[in-house]
Chain A
Amino acid sequence: GNSVTQMEGPVTLSEEAFLTINCTYTATGYPSLFWYVQYPGEGLQLLLKATKADDKGSNKGFEATYRKETTSFHLEKGSVQVSDSAVYFCALGVYSGGGADGLTFGKGTHLIIQP
């Protein structure tokens, strides 16, 4: 089956620090990979995605590269801000051809940025 493993945290950093949140996966077939972000009291929002090997997704200063050889999709940001404090979820989806079967999510990483 499909699964996603990510560091759970909490991860605490100072403002302007470099961020890496690790994500590795196992999947049948050829998955697409995603990072979602959840701010307190809200639903999840798509942050970035990559649909094939070596693709790089990017948005709002965050980046992640689809590494098929290491089955990884690590999230990075060069300089974090207090407003980046949230829970980040790595996810994968494998389109079966019969319709959208739902994404598989990791357990989430709670990121805390201190001023």
Chain B
Amino acid sequence: NAGVTQTPKFQVLKTGQSMTLQCAQDMNHNSMYWYRQDPGMGLRLIYYSASEGTTDKGEVPNGYNVSRLNKREFSLRLESAAPSQTSVYFCASSEWGELGGYTFGSGTRLTVV
């Protein structure tokens, strides 16, 4: 049972390059989320998708876009990477309206040089 799968696990980008972080869940969850984790900052919500076909901005959406491709997949795109986007990115999923029942992926460690 995979749960939430994120790819890639590690990535180094040059400033200005673009990339897409992939996330897929196999638990038939309705809601999916993207967080970033920075030292001393905890986890901050970038974007979320309450259900298939909807996406909404979180606390720190600037510089990112998302796509809820289907119920299983929720991708995060950096169109023009900046050093400030160096972080660890976590995808999570949950049942509709079930607060706290989040399942997290193992993270993508992104470095922008």
Residues of A within 8 A of B (CB): 4, 8, 32, 34, 36, 41-46, 49, 51, 89, 91, 93, 95, 98-108
Contact = CB atoms under 8 A, between A and B. Distances in A.
Given A99-B96, A102-B33, A102-B58, A46 B40 contact: no
Q: Is the interface of B mostly helix, strand, loop or mixed?
A: loop
Contacts of B100: 32, 34, 46, 49, 51, 91, 93, 103
Interface string B44-68: 1100101100101010000000000
B74 interface: no
Contacts of B96: 99-100
Given A89-B43, A100-B31, A107-B40, A42 B94 contact: no
A23 to B, nearest CB: 12
Contacts of A45: 104
A32 B94 CA distance: 15
Contact of B107 (A34, A43, A46, A91): A43
A108 to B, nearest CB: 5
A107 B43 CA distance: 7
Contacts of A43: 4, 90, 92, 104-107
Contact of A8 (B35, B40, B54, B92): B40
Nearest to B93: A100
A107 B42 CA distance: 4
- 9 tightest Cβ-Cβ pairs between the two chains A and B: A99-B50, A43-B104, A107-B42, A93-B99, A100-B31, A105-B43, A102-B45, A49-B100, A105-B42
Given A95-B97, A99-B97, A100-B31, A46 B102 contact: yes
Contacts of B51: 99
Given A51-B99, A108-B42, 17 more contacts: A34-B100, A41-B106, A43-B92, A44-B92, A44-B104, A46-B100, A49-B100, A89-B43, A95-B97, A95-B99, A99-B31, A100-B94, A100-B96, A101-B50, A104-B45, A105-B42, A107-B42
